[in-house]
Amino acid sequence: MESLAPATLWPTFVLLFAVTPDAAAGRGGTVTGVQPIPDEVATAHRDRIEGLQQRLLGEPYLQARRLVRTSVGRLPLPGGDFEPAFADVHRVVHKSGAAVWEVWLAAPSQPMDAVRWAGWLDMEAADGLARRIWDRLAPSGAKAASTPEMMLPLAVLRYREGGLDHLIERHAHDLVKLLHRDTSPERFKARFVQNELEGDFCRREQGLSLLARNGALDVHAQPGPSPDADDADLPLPRSTLPLLVTLELLCLERAVLRSFLDRFTRGVYGTMDDLVQLRRDIFDGLEEYYGTLAKTHGYTAEATVRGEALFGIDDLFESVVDRLEALTFEITTRSQQSVSRLGFWLTTSFGAIETGFVAASIATWYYSSNLGAVLGWTIGVTLATALVISSLLRWRLKP
């Protein structure tokens, strides 16, 4: 089979660049040098995604407006050697301020070439397509060496020359190479390739969905005419959209958790109100992790569970929860200290005032015609009593 000519495919790539709230605020939402996305394309994109989100996430989630999606613009590309001629850039902003740059790249039909496509997605290569696009997304004056919190490419391949088994028989190794963004000339072991392919969680007869730490792959084998004529001209098949939305939320989960962990590494500082607000923000930011992704849906549930493990989201979540317990302890300790201080001063004040009233009564008996002396005795005894009580309380409260 190695002697066969490479299969012809129609590849589309969606690059997901996730950034933390601080980085999102620093980069802003505008990109220089972009052209407007045609209205019909932008509208179709928004309607398809929002329609899917409503079915997948539910109306209450959408009403909460935890995600805001905008079309940024079309970025012209050189378009050489089978490369896409442009990139449509969209931006998804989470309620916490974390964001995902969503870049759509529709390439012309071409022979299967996993090494070339993996090179396009290589963030370490200065001439890589992903690296060039990311640098264009940076604002003027930003360091070109900066990297996103997470870069996850979704490669969508359409195959129309035969069935899925035929494609896998010819290009199983190439598909796994692309999944892992591996540009090296060395081949993977056959056992590793087989294990990766067995991780398919797609439920379509002629579909293949794989997820790895460095990327995601969605293959659609459509021998002959497309069964859905309307779907043939779309950048992504409709059946790919649930996976795309799932990956978006996974990227946002990681960016949100990373931002909380970064705040903890700077120490638990601030007023009591600051700490309470931080805890409130954490509970609110963890909404997506706790199951907003409709984990009862088999397809998205499996992708979500795999993604949270592969992308280190579970580990980040455990780290944030551990520090959240420390934050709760700090809030409780400060509250107890505040109550203790309040009780201390109340005890001192009421004790001194009560003693002052007694002193005033006695002084009035002896100095009925000298109000100055009565006032002096009252103030003196009150201050002396306050000093004695506060000293005794401080002594008792010492650890």
| pLDDT tens per residue, range 160-211 | 988 999 999 999 999 999 999 998 889 999 999 999 999 999 888 899 999 9
- With a CB cutoff of 8 Å and minimum separation 6, the contacts of 63 are none
The pLDDT value recorded for residue 145 is 42
Place 317 in a pLDDT band, splitting at 50, 70 and 90: confident
| Higher per-residue pLDDT: 392 or 90 | 90
- Per-residue pLDDT, 21: 86
Going by pLDDT thresholds of 50, 70 and 90, the confidence category of residue 319 is confident
Please report, rounded to a whole number, the percentage of residues in the chain having pLDDT higher than 70: 67
pLDDT on residue 380: 58
Mean pLDDT of 263-280: 67
Position with higher pLDDT, 321 vs 212: 212
Lowest mean pLDDT segment, chosen from 12-26, 143-157, 321-335, 381-395: 381-395
User: What percent of the chain shows pLDDT beyond 90?
Assistant: 32
Per-residue pLDDT at 387: 62
Higher pLDDT, 127 or 287: 127
pLDDT confidence tier of residue 377, bands split at 50, 70 and 90? very low
Q: How much is the pTM?
A: 0.79
pLDDT at 257 over 80: yes
Overall average pLDDT of the 310-331 stretch: 77
Instruction: Note whether 353 and 382 are within 8 A (CB).
Output: yes
Over residues 346-372, mean pLDDT: 52
Count Cα neighbours of 45 within 13 Å in the Cβ-side half-sphere. 22
Residue 48 has pLDDT above 80, yes or no: yes
Distance CA 133, CA 91 (A): 14
- Give yes or no for residue 362 having a pLDDT over 70: no
d(CA 41, CA 166): 33
Identify the pLDDT of residue 14. Answer: 96
Residue 108: its pLDDT value, please? 92
Most confident of 12-21, 267-276, 297-306: 12-21
For the cut 50, the answer to whether the pLDDT of residue 399 exceeds it is: no
Asked if the model's pLDDT at residue 83 lies above 60, the reply is yes
Confidence check: pLDDT of 228 > 50: no
